[in-house]
């Protein structure tokens, strides 16, 4: 039973199982069917979508119109592949000759794409232009050139044969350059490289100036005068001559140079000479010998610099001569000539290099003499050693001539020079105090310093110092008039010889953006013992700002102010003047401060110098200190603070007004606002902001003086107040009143002059309008 049961069970189970399985199968089948259906559906949708995609992707993929494919295809390939474009099919031309727009008819995509292509080409052109504008080092990259060429073709499909020729020439050139690019000798590599080291006239002048300065304390040797004679062609000479403040260092430097040269010679003497010759050659046929020069560069890049410099400045012929000279010089040691150039052998060294063309014989003579001149160098040159080992930094060289220097002899770079960011100038300023630089950079050789590409040295020098001479100075002494005691930036000196500006000079390393012009702002603070109600004032033209710093705000009641109350200690105004200075100017400024410090130091023998302007005006003898002068005039003239400072004391003192007045300070308004004010009051427009301000302020005197109404905003209100006060003014005078009421024609100039005596400087135009509107007969007759 059990079995049967079990069998039954089994049968039952089997039945159940088969049933179960069948249902399973069914469901499975259903699932499969469903899946297949889904697959089919998705496939359909995908195919549908694919059609869409193909429609978007463009003409190339799926275009069910075979006839059309060929025609736009032709056109397209013609326009896209520039090379095939040269032979634009005559068939296409014929096809579309009658109706050019037939191609586009009924197909928006074509039009869009055509437009897109046009825009794209224009964009590429623009881009090329902008990039070329950004850095002058490289004209166009290869890709840009290609793009340009393409765009040219695209826009002018029908080019003349000559243009086609020129285009093909360009492409050929590009290809050629591309090939040459690979070995780094092409135009492109050169163009991408930094600009040449040629010094401009300005730089040379700068150099000369400094040189003169240097030479002032020094006995000018005959050789030096010769150097001076070599004006434009001798930038190198000048740089080197700078580096000769002392005989000692100078000899050493020359030694170093020699060591370098001899280094080259000893290591690769043959290459060196051949390099010279080949380099001359390389100007005509480009850069096959570059690799050899590169080798030399490895040995000493300063040497390379010299060569490149000379190569830039000198024509080929002289180069040949030079090479010959050099060769000969090495061969002929003319010791006799040593004496003549002993005093300044270095400059003499440089003369022949630049003057070769003119004085071939002389140069030969000189160079030979120099080559052999210092016995030390000759001996040292025999020893092949590294440059650094030879060079001893000339620490003891006198530094009096460089206007600003460090207090510590340790190599802390606090160059107060505002380094101009131009490449050439940077170079110059870098070597303005060459000795110091040589110390800090441990570069010893001035020749090495000439290298602007040596980035580590350049970085050191590229400091831009925004000097903010921010001195908080308190003066205790009082002058006769208590109004103003101007204390200028104090100058301390820690060293006996060297002066330093104590002010916190923020140092900024500026490694990039060399071409960008920098605004240098100099801020000075003056403490004036008086009450000044100073409005913030910007003078854009002259580039300085005037701010009154927040102190204890003392509002002067102009009516109740007692003259003596100014002596109150509390009445301190700190005026901060921020000045925009030019790069060179700022240098002068610091120089001036140094001088100031020197002067004061000389006068008072004090470490801290306090300059009082009113009591010791002689201290200010510097022509360019406008601010100081203004403040001086200001302080002298402003005996009573209630008085508004007249414009004759200073042009800018309009902003400085004492007392509370309702006058609008028109100087604070922008030019546009001034114009609006003119329009509002229907004043006759005048030229120039200054004049506008004066006109407005004079006119506004008429209503602010009379009553305390707010400033009229309409023409009617304006006329009401101004005419009212003018009428009262004129009516109070019998002479003018009778003139008017008896209808006598007035002469506007006379009326103006008379009104002027009453304190109102009005324009004739305005008075004319006043007369007209009031029925007073007036003429402009002189």
739 contacts another protein (rule: CB under 8 A)? yes
Cβ 678 to another protein, closest distance in Å? 17
Minimum CB separation of residue 725 from another protein in Å reads 7
Q: Considering the rule CB under 8 A, would residue 737 count as an interface residue with another protein?
A: yes
Judged by CB under 8 A, the stretch of 40-48, 113-121, 158-166, 720-728 that binds another protein is 720-728
Could you say which of 618, 687, 734, 757 contacts another protein (CB under 8 A)?
Answer: 734
DSSP bridge partners of 779:
747
Total residues interacting with another protein, rule: CB under 8 A: 30
Non-local (6+) Cβ contacts of 360 within 8 A are 321, 325
Among 105, 389, 562, 735, binds another protein (CB under 8 A): 735
Question: In this chain, which of 62, 169, 383, 741 binds another protein, going by CB under 8 A?
Answer: 741
> How far apart are alpha carbons 308 and 762 in whole angstroms?
68
Does position 52 interact with another protein (CB under 8 A)? The reply is: no
Binding status of residue 777 toward another protein by CB under 8 A: yes
From candidates 727, 752, 761, 764, binder to another protein by CB under 8 A? 727
Instruction: Give the range of 206-214, 276-284, 453-461, 723-731 binding another protein by CB under 8 A.
Output: 723-731
Residue closer to another protein by CB (options 499, 776) is: 776
Largest CA distance in the chain: 154
Q: What is the DSSP letter of 782?
A: -
Q: What does the DSSP 8-state code read for residue 116?
A: H
Q: Is 223 within 8 Å of 348 (Cβ atoms)?
A: yes
Exposure string for 249-261, b = 16+ CB within 10 A, e = fewer:
bbbbbbbbbbbbb
- Smallest distance from the beta carbon of 772 to another protein, in angstroms? 5
Helix orientation angle between 345-355 and 247-267, rounded to the nearest 10 degrees: 50
| Residue whose CB is less far from another protein, 532 or 776 | 776
743 lines the binding site for another protein (CB under 8 A) = yes
Compute the least distance from the CB of residue 769 to another protein, in Å. 9
Min CB(111)–another protein separation in Å: 49
**Interface with another protein, residue 740, by CB under 8 A:** yes
- H or E element: which one contains 747? strand 746-747
- Among the listed residues 720, 752, 761, 764, the single contact to another protein using CB under 8 A: 720
Distance in angstroms (rounded) separating the CA atoms of residues 170 and 146? 9
Judge contact between 686 and 663, C-beta under 8 A.
no
- How do beta strands 463-465 and 507-509 pair? antiparallel
Is 738 an interacting residue with respect to another protein (CB under 8 A)? yes
Whether 316 and 282 have beta carbons less than 8 Å apart is answered as no
Among 64, 66, 623, 782, binds another protein (CB under 8 A): 782
Q: In this complex, which beta carbon is closest to another protein, that of residue 115 or of residue 741? A: 741
Q: What is the DSSP letter of 346?
A: H
- Alpha-carbon distance 471 to 640, whole Å? 27
Q: Is 109 in the site for another protein (CB under 8 A)?
A: no
First to last CA, the chain: 150
CA dist 368 to 256, 277, 756, 757, Å?
A: 18, 19, 81, 83
Name which position in 744, 756, 758, 759 contacts another protein (CB under 8 A). 744
**Nearer to another protein by C-beta: 17 or 773?**
773
**Residue 742 found at the interface with another protein (CB under 8 A):** yes
* Comparison of 319 and 719: residue with beta carbon closer to another protein: 719
Instruction: Rank residues 390 and 726 by Cβ distance to another protein and give the closer one.
Output: 726
Q: How far is the C-alpha of 749 from the C-alpha of 740, rounded, in Å?
A: 15
Interacting residues of 137 by C-beta distance below 8 A, sequence separation 6+: 191, 192, 193, 194, 195
Closest contact distance (angstroms) between CB of 773 and another protein is 5
Name the one range near another protein by CB under 8 A: 224-232, 314-322, 355-363, 739-747.
739-747
Q: Does the footprint of another protein cover residue 779 (CB under 8 A)? A: yes
Kindly tell me which residue out of 68, 724, 752, 764 binds another protein, with binding defined by CB under 8 A. Answer: 724
CB of 778 to another protein, least distance (A): 9
Nearer to another protein, 448 or 730 (CB): 730
Residue 685 sits in the site that holds another protein (CB under 8 A): no
Please give the DSSP secondary-structure letter assigned to residue 112: H
Three-state DSSP at 576 gives strand
Report the SS3 class of residue 762.
coil
Tally of residues, the chain: 782
Asked if 648 is part of the footprint of another protein (rule: CB under 8 A), the reply reads no
Does position 688 interact with another protein (CB under 8 A)? The reply is no
Q: Which is nearer to another protein, 237 or 726 (CB)?
A: 726
Identify whether the C-beta of residue 263 lies closer than 8 Å to the C-beta of residue 299: yes
Q: What are the E-state strand segments in 530-685?
A: 537-539, 544-548, 572-581
CB of 252 or CB of 739, closer to another protein:
739
The CA distance from 1 to 197, in Å, is: 117
Measured between alpha carbons, how far is residue 299 from residues 265, 378, 387, 752 in Å? Answer: 10, 19, 10, 82
Q: Pick the binder of another protein from 400, 745, 758, 780 (CB under 8 A).
A: 745
773 is a contact residue toward another protein (CB under 8 A): yes
Residue 260 vs 725, nearer CB to another protein? 725
Nearer to another protein, 279 or 739 (CB): 739
| CB of 518 or CB of 747, closer to another protein | 747
- Residue 725 touches another protein, criterion: CB under 8 A: yes
Q: How far is the CB of 662 from another protein (least distance, A)?
A: 20
Residues 749-768, interacting with another protein (CB under 8 A): 750
> Least CB distance from residue 774 to another protein, whole Å?
4
* 728 scored as a contact of another protein (CB under 8 A): yes
- Minimum CB separation of residue 775 from another protein in Å reads 2
DSSP 149-213: HHHHHHH--S--HHHHHHHHHHHHHHHHHHHHHHTT-SHHHHHHSPPP-PPPHHHHHHHHHHHHH
If one asks whether residue 712 binds another protein (CB under 8 A), the answer comes out as no
Looking at the DSSP bridge assignments, the partners of residue 507 are 465
Q: Residue 705, interface with another protein (CB under 8 A)?
A: no
The verdict on 781 binding another protein (CB under 8 A) reads yes
d(CA 597, CA 471) in angstroms, rounded, equals: 14
Which residue, 165 or 780, has its beta carbon nearer to another protein?
780
In the three-class reduction of DSSP (H, G, I as helix; E, B as strand; rest coil), residue 475 is classed as: coil
The SS3 assignment for 75 reads helix
Which of 185, 725 has the CB closer to another protein? 725
CB of 531 or CB of 704, closer to another protein: 704
CA within 13 Å, CB half, 586: 26
Q: Of 577, 579, 570, 559, nearest to 641 (Cα)?
A: 559
| Strand-pair partners of 463 | 509
Q: Which residues contact 186 (CB under 8 A, 6 or more apart)?
A: 177, 180, 286, 287
Q: Answer yes or no whether residue 723 interacts with another protein by CB under 8 A.
A: yes
On the CB side of 257, CA atoms within 13 Å amount to 23
Answer yes or no whether residue 431 interacts with another protein by CB under 8 A.
no
Is 640 or 738 the residue whose CB approaches another protein more closely?
738
CA–CA distance, 355 with 318 (Å, rounded to integer): 9
Of the candidate residues 46, 135, 772, 780, the single one contacting another protein (CB under 8 A): 772
CB of 697 to another protein, least distance (A): 22
Q: Does 475 sit near another protein (CB under 8 A)?
A: no
Q: How far is the CB of 776 from another protein (least distance, A)?
A: 7
Contacting residues toward another protein, per CB under 8 A:
720, 723-728, 730-731, 734-735, 737-745, 750, 772-777, 779, 781-782
């Amino acid at each position: 039973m059990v079995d049967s049961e079990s069998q039954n069970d089994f049968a039952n189970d089997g039945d159940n199982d088969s049933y179960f399985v069948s249902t399973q199968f069914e469901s499975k089948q259903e699932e499969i069917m469903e899946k297949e259906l889904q697959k089919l559906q998705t496939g359909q949708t995908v195919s549908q979508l694919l059609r869409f995609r193909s429609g978007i992707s463009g003409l190339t993929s799926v275009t069910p119109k075979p006839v059309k494919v060929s025609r736009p295809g032709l056109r397209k390939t013609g326009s896209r592949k520039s090379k095939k474009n040269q032979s634009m099919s005559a068939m296409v031309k014929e096809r579309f000759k009658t109706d050019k727009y037939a191609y586009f008819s009924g197909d928006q995509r074509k039009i869009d794409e055509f437009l897109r292509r046009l825009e794209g080409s224009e964009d590429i052109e623009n881009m090329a232009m902008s990039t070329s504008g950004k850095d002058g080092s490289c004209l166009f990259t290869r890709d840009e050139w290609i793009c340009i060429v393409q765009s040219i073709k695209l826009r002018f499909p029908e080019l003349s044969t000559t243009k086609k020729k020129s285009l093909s020439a360009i492409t050929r050139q590009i290809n050629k350059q591309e090939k040459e690019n690979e070995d780094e000798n092409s135009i492109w590599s050169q163009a991408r490289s930094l600009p040449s080291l040629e010094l401009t006239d300005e730089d040379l002048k700068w150099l000369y100036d400094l040189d003169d300065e240097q030479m002032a304390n020094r006995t000018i040797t005959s050789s030096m005068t010769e150097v001076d004679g070599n004006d434009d062609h001798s930038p190198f000479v000048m740089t080197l001559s700078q580096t000769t403040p002392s005989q000692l260092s100078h000899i050493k430097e020359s030694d170093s140079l020699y060591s370098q040269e001899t280094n080259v010679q000893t290591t690769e003497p043959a290459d060196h000479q051949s390099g010279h010759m080949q380099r001359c050659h390389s100007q005509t046929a480009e850069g096959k010998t570059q690799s050899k020069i590169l080798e030399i560069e490895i040995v000493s890049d300063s040497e390379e610099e010299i060569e490149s410099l000379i190569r830039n400045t000198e024509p080929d012929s002289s180069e040949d001569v030079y090479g010959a000279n050099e060769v000969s010089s090495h061969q002929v040691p003319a010791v006799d000539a040593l004496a003549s150039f002993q005093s300044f052998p270095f400059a003499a060294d440089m003369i022949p290099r630049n003057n070769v063309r003119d004085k071939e014989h002389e140069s030969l003579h000189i160079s030979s003499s120099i080559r052999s001149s210092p016995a030390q160098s000759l001996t040292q040159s025999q020893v092949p050693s590294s440059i650094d080992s030879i060079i001893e930094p000339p620490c003891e060289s006198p530094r009096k001539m460089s206007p600003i220097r460090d207090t510590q002899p340790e190599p802390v770079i606090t160059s107060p020079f505002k380094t101009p960011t131009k490449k050439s100038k940077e170079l110059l300023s870098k070597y303005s105090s060459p000795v110091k630089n040589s110390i800090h950079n441990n570069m010893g050789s001035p020749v090495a310093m000439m290298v602007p590409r040596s980035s580590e040295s350049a970085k050191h020098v590229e400091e831009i110092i925004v000097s903010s001479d921010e001195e908080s100075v308190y003066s205790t002494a009082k002058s006769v008039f208590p109004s103003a005691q101007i204390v200028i930036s104090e100058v301390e000196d820690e060293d006996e010889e060297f002066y330093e500006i104590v002010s916190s000079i923020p140092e900024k390393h500026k490694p990039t953006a060399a071409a960008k012009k920098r605004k240098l702002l100099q801020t000075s603070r003056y403490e004036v013992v008086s009450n000044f109600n100073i409005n913030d004032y910007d003078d854009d033209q002259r580039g300085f700002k005037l701010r009154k710093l927040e102190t204890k705000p003392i509002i002067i009641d102009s009516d109740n102010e007692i003259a003596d109350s100014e002596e109150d200690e509390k009445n301190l105004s700190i005026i901060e003047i921020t000045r925009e200075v030019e790069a060179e100017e700022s240098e002068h400024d610091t120089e001036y401060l140094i001088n100031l410090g020197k002067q004061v130091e000389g006068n008072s023998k004090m470490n801290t110098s306090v300059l009082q302007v009113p009591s010791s005006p002689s201290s200010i003898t510097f022509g360019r200190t406008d601010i100081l002068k203004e403040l001086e005039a200001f302080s002298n003239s402003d005996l009573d603070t209630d008085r508004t400072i007249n414009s004759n004391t200073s042009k800018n003192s309009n902003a400085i007004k004492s007392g509370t007045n309702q006058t609008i300070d028109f100087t604070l308004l922008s030019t546009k606002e001034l114009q609006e004010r003119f329009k509002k009051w229907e004043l006759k427009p005048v030229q120039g902001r200054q004049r506008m301000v004066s006109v407005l302020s004079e006119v506004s005197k008429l209503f602010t003086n009379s009553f305390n109404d707010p400033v009229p905003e309409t023409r009617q209100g304006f006329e009401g107040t101004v005419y009212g006060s003018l009428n009262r003014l004129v009516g109070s005078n019998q002479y003018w009143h009778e003139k008017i009421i008896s209808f006598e024609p007035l002469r506007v100039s006379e009326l103006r002059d008379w009104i002027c005596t009453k304190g109102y400087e009005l324009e004739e135009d305005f008075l004319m309008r006043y007369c007209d509107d009031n029925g007073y007969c007036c003429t402009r007759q002189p």
